[in-house]
Amino acid sequence: MRAVRVLSAALLMLGLAAAPAAADSTPSPEASGDGGGPTRAGTSFRTATEVEQEQTATARASTGDYLYWSFPADAGQRPTVRAMVKLPEGHAAETWQIDVYDGLRRRQACQYGAQTRTAVAGAASVEVACVLRTVRAWSEPWADDPLPGTYYVRLTVLKLSADDLGKPVDVELRVESKDMGGAAAVDGSLSEPLVPGIGSREKEEALHGPKSVLAELEPEDGWTSGWWSDRWIWTAAGGALAALAGVLGYRLTRGPGRPRHVPPGA
């Protein structure tokens, strides 16, 4: 009887140990992947996973899931968002799309890039990309211009066969920006960047600590770190050239000056 009890206990412990392993094998947006960046994706705007620029985020999900990430973008930057989806074997044709929203959750149009792409049946992967317009430091309230703050990325499949729904996929997301310099500079700036929770930052941090703010990522040098641009250099150079041109113009147009005094009878 003791041997039977020991054997039963061993089988029970083996079953309990195998159950979590079986559960972990189920694809999920929160399952971990490879790489040094975040290894999960959110399923809504509020649960979007924060990712820094020039950092690769990975996630393992199921076909049909909505995947969300967020990243900070400052004035003068032109962000490029790329996502590559590794598809399962034996799938039918699928159409994937990437969308980018600003801090007000307004969908931002892509300046160029394959925002929507269809993978043929059996393709190993599909890549989508979106190059946003340059982020402006200030804009009119009625305009739809990109403004400094948090941006949201949503990746999802638009068209697929019923047999492919729920199959596992691996996703890689990367955000990079190009500094557009003084050509994109405008007069004026926002009082605060469009970051969730920034309006109550001081109050929430005093009550619950700095982790209470919904979006914590910001540019490396802080917001509006790009206040210095080549626009200042061109303005100073233009002023110096204008002053030099004024001096030269005066020298050329004043003539030889007053005539010398000639004594009477000379």
Q: What is the pLDDT of residue 27?
A: 39
- Read off the pLDDT of residues 10-42 as tens digits, 9 standing for 90 and up: 444 444 333 333 333 333 465 444 457 899 999
Averaged pLDDT for residues 229-256: 79
Could you tell me what percent of the chain has a pLDDT over 70? Answer: 68
- Residue 104 predicted with pLDDT over 70: yes
- Residue 197 predicted with pLDDT over 70: yes
- Phi, psi angles (nearest 5°) of residue 29: -60, -15
Q: What is the pLDDT of residue 3?
A: 44
Closest CA to 197 of 213, 212, 210: 213
Q: What is the pLDDT of residue 7?
A: 40
Pairing of strands 116-119, 49-50: unpaired
Q: What is the pLDDT of residue 69?
A: 97
Q: Which residue has the higher pLDDT, 116 or 220?
A: 116
Q: Mean pLDDT in the chain?
A: 79
- Read off the pLDDT of residues 248-263 as tens digits, 9 standing for 90 and up: 888 788 766 666 666 6
Could you tell me what percent of the chain has a pLDDT over 90? Answer: 47
Strand partners, 96: 117, 157
Cα–Cα distance for residue pair 197/152, rounded to 1 Å: 15
Q: What is the pLDDT of residue 110?
A: 94
What number of other Cβ atoms are within 10 A of residue 256's Cβ? 6
Lowest mean pLDDT of 138-142, 144-148, 221-225, name the range: 221-225
Q: What is the pLDDT of residue 123?
A: 95
DSSP line for the chain: -HHHHHHHHHHHHHHHHHHHHHHHTS--TTB--SSSS----BSSSTTPEE--TT-EEEEEEETT--EEEEEEE-TTEEEEEEEEEEPPTT---EEEEEEEE-TT-PEEPEEES-SEEEEPTT-SEEEEEEEEPPPPS---TT-----SEEEEEEEEEEE--GGGTT-EEEEEEEEEEEE-GGGG--S---SS-B-TTGGGHHHHHHHH-GGGSS-----TT-TTGGG--HHHHHHHHHHHHHHHHHHHHHHHHSTT-SPPPPPTT-
- Residue 143 predicted with pLDDT over 90: no
- Phi, psi angles (nearest 5°) of residue 38: -60, 145
Averaged pLDDT for residues 38-67: 94
Closest CA to 152 of 217, 228, 249: 217
Q: What is the pLDDT of residue 76?
A: 87
Averaged pLDDT for residues 213-229: 64
Q: Which residue has the tokens 């600590």?
A: 209
Give whichever of 25-34, 82-91, 218-227 has the largest mean pLDDT.
82-91
- Residue 212 predicted with pLDDT over 50: no
Q: What is the pLDDT of residue 257?
A: 61
Cα–Cα distance for residue pair 147/163, rounded to 1 Å: 41
- Residue 216 predicted with pLDDT over 80: no
pLDDT band of 128, cuts 50, 70, 90: very high
Closest CA to 176 of 151, 143, 157, 139: 151
Asked if 135 contacts 73 with a C-beta cutoff of 8 angstroms, the reply is: yes
- Residue 180 predicted with pLDDT over 70: yes
Q: Which residues of 15-51 are buried (b: 16+ CB within 10 A; e: fewer)?
A: eeeeeeeeeeeebbbebebeeebbbbbbbeeeebbbb
